Structure 1
């Protein structure tokens, strides 16, 4: 019996598991980059909301929405569709009625949770939960495959061999390419902070342009070569695409900061 259980567990460990956007490291990086650009008012209000948290920092709550699946399965199930939107089949043109019925997608979740966060009449618990969602979902929407094809579950069903192990395209973008660089978090932040943004980010209203973010991420998925032509990939793919993943992390941090400033600096 013990031998059977061992074999079963070993087999399970070799099966690629469902991936989260950016993984824990990527979400922490987006949150830390955002903190750099927050106003003093936004920082003070975030600090008040985070009082009592085990890790009362933006990076400390950045993966909370993924961890719901273990700690609060009911809420995790109800908010599962808030992590992504499938628009690649439609040329990356977002239409709420088609792609986000009932508001169940990352585009509308960012807007709805930002509104709750900005509403001073809401309870601290409601605003804290909204903050956790906003920090996470802005990171999610900048991972290209969270705005990709529904037919392969955002690349989760696109199987690959990388670095001698089985994986999938979604997992590769979440964490595989980042881990391959073998950098510590502080080194990543130094590297990402040095990336100039392609455009200046103007102040935004309380309704973040999350649809535009999703469409921009989706357009990356449609670029030639994003989906490898061979099942086994190596350093060439990583060297080509990791700089773009890094730019998306950098942009996610900057746009998260603008969103939080708009919601909390009034």
Structure 2
């Protein structure tokens, strides 16, 4: 099977679906700081009436759909990931994203909706919520990894004294183990050197390239822990890569939004 089954995906815990609440908020917060002032104003206008009218406030909305909109949650379940590990981390739409049901196509499709100012505000707001979340997903290596182990969900480990799996380890386990609050994490990530090269913001975004780069991380030797109990050495080796991906995700999201909402 090349992808997570919908039934299994809907049974997974929330923090096994993406970066976890903290990671997605951090990607959004990093992006906000890199947005053009006019784009910030457009986003603020779209967010009027939201419970938390901020980019970080909507960053986890797509993972919460199962609770407040189960039908849309089922429809969008496959939009969170793409399986490239078995195929050399090379994305081919007809093979890896049938009917546009993967994170690469979802980013492109929702960006087009967001950029279309002729569409209703509600439709564009929903697209913004999807885009913010899915760009984060595309930078989580296991969202572009192997199909055979369901993005690391089938690889059981012990971490921090509890049972877990490799997907959860990367979603939130390694980040939470650092013991930092959101503000401290944001300062830490902003201090990282930017390891992406950006030309002028343009559409469509390089969503396939982001997924392929994530896949190359997930398929590196040593990415999967060699021991069932994950030790400090693994965390010291790999958490910097997770941090770098969050940093890249924020910059890529900012470039996408600057391009989609430019006037």
Which range, TM-score by smaller chain? Answer: over 0.9
Greater C-alpha radius of gyration: 1
Q: Deviations over 1:49-86 (max 9, x none)?
A: 00000000000000000000111111000000000000
Q: Structure 2 length as normaliser, TM-score?
A: 0.94
Offset at residue 197 of structure 1 (A): 1.4
Q: Distance in 2 between matches of 1:220 and 1:174?
A: 14
Whether the aligned pair in 2 keeps the contact of 1:111 and 1:210 (CA below 8 Å) is yes
Paired residue for 2:205?
208
- The CA distance in 1 between the partners of 2:225 and 2:106, in whole Å, is 31
Q: Partners in 1 of 2:254 and 2:107 — Cα distance?
A: 13
Deviations 1:179-212 (A, max 9, x none): 0000000000000000111233112322101000
Give the structure 2 partner of residue 120 of structure 1.
117
**Stretches of structure 2 lacking an aligned partner (at least 5 in a row):** 1-10
Partner Cα separation in structure 1 for residue 79 and residue 128 of structure 2: 14
Cα deviation, 1:161-195, whole Å, max 9, x if unaligned, reads 01111000000000000000000000000000001
Kept in 2: contact 1:33–1:189 (CA 8 A):
yes
- Matched position secondary structure for 1:160: strand
The TM-score, its normalising length taken from structure 1, stands at: 0.93
Correspondence list, 1:29-178, <5 A? 29-178=26-175
In the alignment, structure 1 segments of 5+ residues that lack a partner are 1-14
The corresponding residue for 2:3 is none
Do the aligned residues in 1 keep the contact of 2:139 with 2:211 (CA within 8 Å)?
A: yes
Equivalences, count: 252
| C-alpha displacement of 1:234 | 1.2
2:262 corresponding residue in structure 1: 265
Which residue pairs with 2:183 in the alignment? 186
Root mean square deviation of aligned Cα: 1.2
**Residue 16 of structure 1 contacts residue 168 of structure 1 at CA under 8 Å; is this kept in 2?**
no
Moved over 4 A (4+): none
C-alpha displacement at 1:131, in angstroms? Answer: 0.2
Rounded to whole Å, the distance in 2 between the matches of 1:131 and 1:52 is 14
**C-alpha distance in 2 between matches for 1:67 and 1:208:** 25
**CA distance in structure 1 between the partners assigned to 2:144 and 2:125 by the alignment:** 26
* Bigger shift: residues 203-212 or 241-250: 203-212
Question: Residue 64 of structure 2: SS of its match in structure 1?
Answer: helix
1:16–1:167 CA contact under 8 A, matched in 2: no
DSSP 3-state at the match of 1:167: strand
Q: 1:16 to 1:74 in 2, by over 3 A?
A: closer
